[in-house]
């Protein structure tokens, strides 16, 4: 085995893992606070991909300088989505909220297709690279990891060190008790949905700096997000980060590490392996590796 290839693949996997973890945090935060499975997650990621592209093409803004716009747009979009599609059915059976977010999914995909068609797109970035021996680390991947780490730390500090963050955790634990303590649960739920949407859009913007994309790219990333949150533990942001790193490493190493008898596994088998992992977790540890958090 070529250990330089193994190290390079591991670094690529960690890069993907942090971005995947950020992507899944938005989904798991929404579920953890309001027990809503957001099927509009995929198109939201795609919105995050196209936002820096539009800013770059229309205004000449560097995609990284456009990240604050992605963050603000994601927060506002999530709050609007909550009041339009989720608020009125928040206490309805789970199937109702599932259908509501699925309707949002269809509306967003249709709108994005009209605006951008399904033509493959890519961001044009020149960030240089870091050279360590024969291992080359692209600058875009370094920046993606840094942004994902900063966003993760900021989320943690917000949830555990601010009044609004503590209110979100209180509503997640017991909404009725939180309301009795004077917390406006409606706005806290809207804020939670907004933050979850913002994280999804931010991860989409980072993914756009790493890979090409289309309007239909969101479905694959949405499925991957569900695998990650189940792997880490539903409603557990830390688990989402761990699950993202595991899936990122799996995707990068599966075709590199040779196995006895069968040899290397083709990269096309990665989705199959991910679903096998998904099923095994559901069968043997349904609360995820770190356990679900309420």
Residue 24 forms part of a structural domain: yes
Residue-wise pLDDT tens digits, 229-274 = 988 888 788 889 999 999 998 888 876 776 655 556 777 778 888 8
According to DSSP, residue 132 is labeled E
Residue-wise pLDDT tens digits, 148-177 = 999 999 999 999 999 999 999 999 999 999
Torsion angles phi and psi, residue 291, rounded to 5:
85, 145
**Is 71 in contact with 198 (CB distance < 8 Å)?**
yes
Residue-wise pLDDT tens digits, 43-97 = 999 999 999 999 999 998 999 999 999 999 999 999 999 999 999 998 888 889 9
Flag whether pLDDT at 121 surpasses 60: yes
Residue 108, judged by CB atoms within 10 A of its CB (0-12, 13-18, 19+), counts as buried
Residue numbers of the domain that contains 195: 3-216
Residue 13 forms part of a structural domain: yes
Residue 118 forms part of a structural domain: yes
Residue 72 forms part of a structural domain: yes
Angle between helices 41-59 and 185-208 (to 10 degrees): 60
Flag whether pLDDT at 292 surpasses 70: no
β-bridge partners, 129 = 138
Segment 196-212 shows an average pLDDT of: 95
In the chain, how many domains are there?
A: 1
């Amino acid at each position: 085995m070529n250990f330089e290839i193994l190290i390079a693949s591991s670094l690529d996997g960690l890069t993907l893992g942090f971005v995947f973890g950020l992507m899944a945090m938005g989904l798991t935060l929404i579920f953890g606070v309001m027990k809503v499975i957001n099927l509009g997650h995929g198109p939201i990621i795609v919105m995050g991909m196209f936002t820096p592209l539009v800013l770059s093409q229309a205004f000449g803004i560097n995609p990284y300088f456009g990240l604050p716009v992605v963050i603000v747009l994601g927060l506002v979009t999530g709050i609007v989505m909550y009041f339009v599609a989720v608020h009125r059915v928040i206490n309805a059976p789970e199937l109702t909220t599932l259908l509501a977010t699925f309707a949002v999914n269809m509306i967003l995909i249709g709108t994005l297709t009209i605006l951008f068609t399904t033509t493959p797109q890519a961001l044009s970035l020149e960030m240089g690279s870091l050279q360590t021996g024969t291992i080359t680390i692209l600058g875009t991947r370094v920046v993606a990891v840094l942004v994902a780490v900063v966003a993760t730390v900021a989320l943690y500090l917000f949830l555990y060190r601010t009044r609004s963050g503590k209110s979100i955790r209180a509503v997640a634990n017991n909404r009725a008790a939180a309301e009795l303590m004077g917390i406006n649960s409606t706005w806290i739920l809207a804020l939670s949905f907004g933050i979850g949407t913002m994280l999804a859009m931010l991860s989409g913007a980072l993914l756009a700096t790493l890979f090409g994309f289309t309007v239909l790219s969101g479905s694959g990333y949405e499925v991957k997000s569900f695998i990650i949150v189940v792997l880490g533990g539903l409603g557990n942001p830390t688990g989402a980060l761990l699950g993202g790193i595991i899936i990122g490493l799996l995707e990068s190493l599966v075709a590199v590490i040779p196995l006895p008898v069968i040899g290397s596994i083709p990269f096309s088998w990665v989705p199959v392996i991910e679903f096998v992992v998904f099923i095994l977790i559901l069968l043997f540890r349904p609360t995820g590796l770190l356990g679900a958090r309420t």
